[in-house]
Amino acid sequence: MKEVDARGLSCPEPMMLTEEAVKSEKGAIRILVTEPHQRMNVEKCARDHGREYTSTETEDGFAVVIDPQK
């Protein structure tokens, strides 16, 4: 699974990395972010691209797993 580690990066870098990954990777992607609003932005990006996702809280932030493109 492709992993994007955006932890600790300032806005809008997590969003830019997510966009880049969603556009280039058809398989599952695991995106790590630190802030709650960054998680929300990643989820919105997945929705905008018609992808499903699952979010979980981690020790130092959040992990959003975006499902493979159908």
Q: Which residues bind other proteins (CB under 8 A)?
A: 7-13, 15-16, 19, 34-37, 40, 60
Alpha-helical regions (H) of the chain: 13-24, 36-48
The residue (of 57 and 68) whose beta carbon lies closer to other proteins is 57
As measured in angstroms, the least distance from the Cβ of 13 to other proteins is: 6
**Who's near 28: CB < 8 A, 6+ residues apart?**
1, 2, 65, 66, 67, 68
The residue (of 7 and 30) whose beta carbon lies closer to other proteins is 7
Q: Is 18 in contact with 4 (CB distance < 8 Å)?
A: yes
As measured in angstroms, the least distance from the Cβ of 9 to other proteins is: 6
